Structures are given as structure tokens and as C-alpha cells.
């Protein structure tokens, strides 16, 4: 995994609109197999080459929620980071992710409610600059006053 920031926390008092963090990860066959095991989603479009070849995708694809999990990793590890609690996330899947694809997950702060410690972020995942997933996250950020 390749990313642009150290792990830890950015407290609500230090977050600014426009702040952004990201990570890049190659999605591997092992990632897909492990996600299938943990989620119990063994849909053959993710796991069976012969089956997946005859689908609209013409080959295996990663679970959409595996890709979305990369957004969670950026939020939980970088911005705001450790101590963050998810309150909501919208997702729109735009294109498939395949084994071997390098996915970049990006979160950008678009709104804040300091009193309620809520941060709203635009979120997306892309392959070679082409968005494959987009959405919006609302989180409860850590605070020096309460944590």
C-alpha cells in the first residue's frame, strides 16, 4: 500500500475545508479471496474466471465494497484518522475494479460542524485518474477537548 500521509489522528480543531488524503493499493487475487471469506460473498463473478468471462464484465471483478473499504482506510488511518467514527457513507459504483488494478482512494473535506465534531468529505476511488466509485462520507472526528 502506498499513501501520502503518516498514520494517526487529525483532531477536528485542526481540520480545514479542502484538506485531502489518499492511498493507493493494487487489488490482488488474495485481497478478493480474503474479502469473500470475511464477507461470505462468494459470488462467482469475483472468484471464478470461467463464470465471470461470460458476464457483462467479461472477466472477474473485485467486490465493490472491497474498493469502498479503501475509503474507510483513508478515513480511519489518515483523515481524520484514529478515533474517527463513521456516521454515514453514500456510494455510487461507476466502473469495475479488476485484479491487478492500482486503485487510488481519495477523501477531501467539504464541510464541517465544529460544535458537533462532524466532518463531511467527498470520497472517490480511481484507476489511472478515472473514477470507479464516488460518494460522500460523514464522520465524527476526534477532538482534543473530548478524547
Phi, psi of 45 (to 5 degrees): -65, -20
pLDDT of residue 121: 98
Distance CA(61)–CA(25), nearest Å, equals 15
List the domain range (segments joined by +) for residue 76.
Answer: 12-28+61-140
Residue 108 belongs to some domain of the structure:
yes
Q: Domain with 79 in it: what CATH number?
A: 3.10.129.10
Residue 42 belongs to some domain of the structure:
no
Distance CA(86)–CA(115), nearest Å, equals 17
For strand 20-26 and strand 2-3, is the pairing parallel, antiparallel, or unpaired?
Answer: antiparallel
Residue 46 belongs to some domain of the structure:
no
- Beta-ladder partners of 130: 127
Residue 129 belongs to some domain of the structure:
yes
3-class DSSP state of 95: coil
End-to-end CA distance of the chain: 29
E strand or H helix at 90: strand 85-93
pLDDT of residue 1: 54
Q: What averages of pLDDT result for each successive group of 10 residues across the chain (147 residues)?
A: 68 95 97 98 97 96 98 96 97 98 98 96 98 98 81
Spatial contact of 29 and 49, defined as CB atoms under 8 Å apart? no
Q: Hey, how many other C-beta atoms are within 10 angstroms of the C-beta on 47?
A: 16
pLDDT of residue 8: 82
pLDDT of residue 144: 87
Distance CA(39)–CA(143), nearest Å, equals 32
- Residue at grid coordinates 480545514: 16
pLDDT of residue 5: 59
Q: Which three cell numbers stand for residue 34?
A: 480474503
The domain tally of the chain equals: 1
Residue 105 belongs to some domain of the structure:
yes
Amino acid at each position: 500500500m502506498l499513501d501520502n500521509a503518516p498514520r494517526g489522528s487529525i483532531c477536528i480543531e485542526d481540520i480545514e475545508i479542502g484538506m485531502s488524503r489518499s492511498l493507493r493499493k493494487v487489488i490482488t487475487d488474495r485481497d478478493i479471496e480474503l474479502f469473500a471469506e470475511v464477507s461470505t460473498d462468494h459470488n462467482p463473478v469475483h472468484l471464478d474466471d470461467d463464470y465471470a468471462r461470460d458476464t457483462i464484465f467479461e472477466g472477474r471483478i473485485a467486490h465493490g465494497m472491497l474498493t469502498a473499504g479503501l475509503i474507510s482506510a483513508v478515513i480511519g488511518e489518515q483523515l481524520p484518522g484514529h478515533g474517527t467514527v463513521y456516521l454515514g457513507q453514500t456510494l455510487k459504483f461507476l466502473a469495475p475494479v479488476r485484479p491487478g488494478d492500482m486503485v487510488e482512494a481519495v477523501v477531501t473535506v467539504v464541510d464541517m460542524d465544529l460544535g458537533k465534531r462532524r466532518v463531511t468529505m467527498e470520497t472517490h476511488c480511481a484507476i489511472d485518474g478515472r473514477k470507479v466509485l464516488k460518494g460522500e462520507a460523514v464522520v465524527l472526528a476526534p477532538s482534543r477537548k473530548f478524547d
